[in-house]
Structure 1
Amino acid sequence: MQEKLKVIKMIHIALCAGLIMAYIFIGDLASINLNMPEISQSNILFVLIPVIAYVFSNFMYKTQLKNANNKQKLEDNMAVYQTASIIRWAILEGSAFIILVMSKDFILFGILIILYLALLHPTEDRIKSDLKYRA
């Protein structure tokens, strides 16, 4: 179990680190403006991207976890959990990149997505609770 947990942790760290580095180098965080830009019809999409990414990533995550067999051992369901987690993280990472590339005015929303992504780090307890595994 620990070996499989190490693999998924490394994937998560790599995704987070890559996204953070992209925001540092491409996003020019030194000149970040923490003021909320004025929202108009032309840029409302950039406000909705994080919301849509959050809802869609959690929906896809839970849908994938339904493929897990609760009668099997936890180690046997790690592939399902890993797939579900990668799908979830990819959706969040993609939305953060879209915000970074399309509109640097809303970079604060991208940073919030990165923080949320970092909080989704895999632990054995989280895996057990998400897979509804009972020892």
Structure 2
Amino acid sequence: MEEKLKVTKMIHIALCSGLVIAYIFIGDVTSISFNMPALSQSNIIYVLIPIIAYIFSNFMFKTQLKAADKTLKLEANMAVYQTASIVRWAILEGAAFLILLLNKDFVLFGILIILYLALIHPTEDRVKTDLT
């Protein structure tokens, strides 16, 4: 189980570190003020992107996990878990990049997505909980 989980952990670390590096260099996070710009009808989409990404990524994750055979051992379902996790992380990563590339004024929402992505790192307990 631990060997199969290492691959998933490495993928997660690579995605998180790639986002952090992109936000440092492309977003120039060190020089951005984290003041929230005034919301209007034209920029409300930048607030909705993280919300939609959160809901959709969790929906896709749970939908993918339904394909796991509950009668098999956890090791046998690791491929399903890894696929579901990658789909979830890809949706969140895409949302963070979308915010970064479309409007740097809302970079705070992208940073919140990165923090959430870091918090949902794979652990053996989390795999057991999600697959049972």
Q: Distance in 1 between matches of 2:102 and 2:35?
A: 18
Give the structure 1 partner of residue 7 of structure 2.
7
Q: Distance in 1 between matches of 2:82 and 2:96?
A: 21
Superposed CA deviations along residues 65-108 of structure 1, whole A, max 9, x for unmatched, are 00001100100000000000000000000000000000000000
Give the structure 2 partner of residue 47 of structure 1.
47
- For residue 34 of structure 2, give the secondary structure of its aligned residue in structure 1: coil
- For residue 67 of structure 1, give the secondary structure of its aligned residue in structure 2: coil
TM value normalised by structure 1 = 0.97
Q: Map 1:54-65 onto structure 2 (within 5 A).
A: 54-65=54-65
1:88 is the counterpart of 2:88 = yes
Q: Map 1:92-107 onto structure 2 (within 5 A).
A: 92-107=92-107
Q: CA deviation at 1:34?
A: 1.4
Which segments of structure 1 move beyond 4 Å, counting only runs of 4 or more?
none
Give the structure 2 partner of residue 38 of structure 1.
38
Give the structure 1 partner of residue 108 of structure 2.
108
Equivalenced residue count is 132
Q: Distance in 2 between matches of 1:48 and 1:31?
A: 25
Percent identity, please: 75
Q: Distance in 2 between matches of 1:128 and 1:105?
A: 39
Superposed CA deviations along residues 106-130 of structure 1, whole A, max 9, x for unmatched, are 0000000000000010000000000
Aligned residues: CA RMSD? 0.5
Superposed CA deviations along residues 47-72 of structure 1, whole A, max 9, x for unmatched, are 00000000000000000000001100
Q: Distance in 1 between matches of 2:24 and 2:31?
A: 11
Q: Map 1:115-126 onto structure 2 (within 5 A).
A: 115-126=115-126
Structure 1, unmatched stretches of 5+, are none
TM value normalised by structure 2 = 0.99
Q: Distance in 2 between matches of 1:86 and 1:26?
A: 24
Q: Distance in 1 between matches of 2:126 and 2:96?
A: 24
